[in-house]
A and B are shown apart, each in its own frame.
Chain A
Amino acid sequence: MDTMPETKTRKTEARAAQPQDGPAPQPSQKSDAERLEGFEREQLRKMMWDMLLARRFEEKAAESYALGKIGGFCHLYIGQEAVAVGAIHALRDDDYVMTAYREHVHALQKGVSANAVMAELYGRADGCSGGKGGSMHMFGADVNYLGGHGIVGGQIPLALGVAWKIKYKKEDRVMQVYCGEAAVNQGAFHESLNMAALWKLPLVLIVENNRFGMGTAWERAASLYDIWQKASAYAMPSAVADGMDVLDCYRVAKEAHDRARAGEGPTLIEARTYRYVGHSMSDPVSGVYRTKEDVEKEKANDPISIFAGLLARNDILSQQELEEMDAEVKRISEESAEFAENSPEPALDQVYTDIYSTEDVNGRLYFDMRDR
């Protein structure tokens, strides 16, 4: 395998598919100084702020869902915040982000406002997709947030195409795309990895391995446990990130971005994380596929508590400052719900808009645009 591109990033031992002991993410063994090296104080505080906003915002969304103010499917990211917050901090504003349907935090982190995300959840006119997308289809073209896709794995070929565009237009940009671990079994994942590596496209694919595809444990769905190993089939560099450590997610992503910008092609990152909530709001937190005790045990790894402890120990953010920060993001979350509540429903004359680039071709665009 002397032609295999190597990565400096830590890898773990390959493991065959069998139930694994304990959490998949390996808590960082580094000293505090090593973990904090190279980060500015303000950036660290901002990462904390972003993770806290993500958590409080989604808790508010869950509350609104329970009250019937949000409909349909609503997949929360609670427990996984370190992945998107860390990896998107390692991007530039003109880089692109795309993900699947567990996407509220990715949208927020890429720069879609809390008001626009909440209004979209409420199905209102001021939502980031005008109320036409909902929880699974949020977009922010102005901040290079490309959605919000509902078919497992379907976003990966799209991201491949954005990476192709970057190469075609000779741009200095990176396409960062996310999928859940269950998407790794889709053909779209493998087809995309092959072409991304074949053409050395600036694609960074982050697999958020939260260990369950809905209610199916990863080891019951995959013959090979270690997702990072899949990259070797495509002669692509890969890495494992501790998905409960925002700084590890940042570092691993940054290394991949640097490689992409240098024209060295794509990277596959397996971020080992855990979801503290059900697959969607309509699913139980625990039950037939995992116990309540399992979930409670994993909460010892809470990415926000771990990071708060690190920052407090190193005099970067005191407990009191953390509480003030928490109050601020709670207020923003509350205000976003008020904003959504007060935003109008989309006008019914919007039904036939945004389907085609022009609404009338030679007198009639639709076969069926009749009064009902």
Chain B
Amino acid sequence: MQRDQVLVEVKNLKKYFPVTRGIIFQRHVGDIKAVDGISFDIRQGETLGLVGESGCGKSTTGRTILQLYRPTGGKVYFEGEDLTALKGNVLRRMRQRMQMIFQDPYASLNPRMTVGSIVGEPLEVHGVARGVEKRERVQELLQLVGLNPYFVNRYPHEFSGGQRQRIGVARALALNPSFIVCDEPISSLDVSIQAQVVNLLEDLQEQFGLTYLFIAHDLSMVRHISDRVAVMYLGKIVELTDRDSLYENPLHPYTQALLSAVPIPDPVVEETRQRIILEGDVPSPANPPRGCNFNTRCPVAMDICHQEEPEFKEVEDGHWVACYRVQ
């Protein structure tokens, strides 16, 4: 089987946010370890789903890859270039190739800019097009995402959530990127609109050969759209494999619990399902447990799980897990 070319390579990525105490003299007393050493590849043309519950670090991962946050440690290679070593104009030029679609279609569009200005801004900022050329490109982009180009002079508040999300997609496509980080792009949309936006993303991917990092907590939607899926918990990746293997043969106890908790819209199936109910809450990322960070809630934790962090290993072809139970 020929492997697709690797577009993005993440190596031992870390992003810590410092915790300080004191009003006049701020002492650095600790760190929120939002992303705590993760490694994976994203291949050309694929959709990699990144799932996990709130606080697991998935959004931070997306932003750190794009260098919206500079990493605390580790490396990110994009099209072979080390993004962590770039800055200023050089980094800025790279941004044409890697874009983001945000979660909140109400907060991610400037309410004081017209739709035309919002979608055209990337073209101006990067000096790619101006004047008539820019206007034409903006209209083309609006049509691509299924919006009437007549809407160019309207403001975001005049649109519905789903339409605003389309505007965000148009903006992300403006510079012909090869890679788009979709950070929970459908979570705040109604169910019947989610399908519209997902179909759009899939069509665009096919049309333009896009590569997606699809960050979400809706596991059913992730199954539909992804080729491979990575599961995060408290700053670490606990499992990574192709989509069908993850959903049909989850190996990590957290993945198993997560999947068993997702409701299925079918009463006959729900009647017979076995739920793994996890105890307690997720620990604080400022104070993760010693050893495997899942050990406080894991139904099958052993002694060693409380002492030493398990290695993230490839246990089957293309199937990576960090768990002593699986090795």
Question: Are A and B subunits of one complex?
Answer: no
Interface residues in chain A, defined as those with a beta carbon under 8 Å from any beta carbon in chain B: none
